[in-house]
Amino acid sequence: MPTPTKGARLGGSPAHEKLILSNLATSLFEHGAITTTAAKAKRLQPLAEQMITKAKRGDLNSRRQVMKRIKDKSVVHVLFTEIGERYADRPGGYTRITKLGPRKGDNAPMVKIELVEALADSPKAKKTAKKAPAKKAAAPKADEPKAEEKVQDVVAGKFDNSAAPLEDGSAPEGFTIKGNENSMKYHTTESPWYDQTVAEVWFKTEADAEAAGFAKAGETEDDDK
């Protein structure tokens, strides 16, 4: 029989724990560094290093094994073509964990886990750069200053891949997940408390919220409603 994992389980079930670690690994390879709890980082580190070792091999079987955990094909492509090649001469130790201050709310220890050599560009940034066609210089229009004002309204939050609420308290464009810093819980649009929750920070995806140390509301009995 397989040996049970030591320590508390992440999430409410083994399947949820596997999903959390997969999302954290995806964010790590995509951005090069993420901020999360010490418990999650310790569980993520060996998984991430195993995936980098498989990427160094570069064979089809290794790629299929990695794709069972990472569903984003663009991230898998960068892992095998860039990250794996970068560590070709390194025997191990591809990641490092740096301690940060305790989390506000439950005082959980927070850390930053990152690749030893930071990514120059994230996969999404490279993908967007390839799709963007070269445009000819055009004369400025009268409506362009308004567009600039809208861009300036989106202010980055204190967490990675997060945004602060707009001046009127509404969500920036593309950000639909509400985060509450006091309880360190996040609410999706399907949450029964979504409408009554005042967002202190916004996220685009659940993976970004969990990578920042937030937990999904409703997973425990003592969740703030």
Which of 24, 42, 213, 34 has the alpha carbon at shortest distance from 114? 34
Half-sphere exposure of 156 (CA within 13 A, CB side): 4
Q: Which amino acid is at 114?
A: E
Q: What topology does CATH give the domain 14-127?
A: 50s Ribosomal Protein L17; Chain: A, (3.90.1030)
What pLDDT is attached to residue 223?
54
Q: 94 with 87: CB under 8 angstroms?
A: yes
Burial 96-133 (b: 16+ CB within 10 A, else e): eeeeeeebeeeebebbebbbeeebeebbeebeeeeeee
Q: Both tokens of residue 128?
A: 């967007």
Which pLDDT band, with edges at 50, 70 and 90, does 224 fall under? very low
Which pLDDT band, with edges at 50, 70 and 90, does 202 fall under? confident
User: Which residue, chain included where needed, has tokens 């810093």?
Assistant: 181
Q: What angle do CA 83, 85, 90 make, to 5 degrees?
A: 90
Q: Does 153 score more than 70 pLDDT?
A: no
Chain mean pLDDT for the chain: 79
**pTM over the 0.75 mark:** no
- Cα separation, 40 vs 17, in Å, equals 10
Q: Where are the domains of the chain?
A: 14-127, 144-216
What pLDDT is attached to residue 112?
94
What pLDDT is attached to residue 45?
92
Determine how β-strand 109-115 pairs with β-strand 177-180: unpaired
Q: What angle do CA 18, 46, 14 make, to 5 degrees?
A: 20
Q: Does 25 score more than 90 pLDDT?
A: yes
Bridge partners of 122, per DSSP, are none
Which pLDDT band, with edges at 50, 70 and 90, does 95 fall under? very high
Which pLDDT band, with edges at 50, 70 and 90, does 141 fall under? low
Which pLDDT band, with edges at 50, 70 and 90, does 179 fall under? confident
Per residue in 59-92, pLDDT tens? Answer: 999 999 999 999 999 999 999 999 988 888 888 8
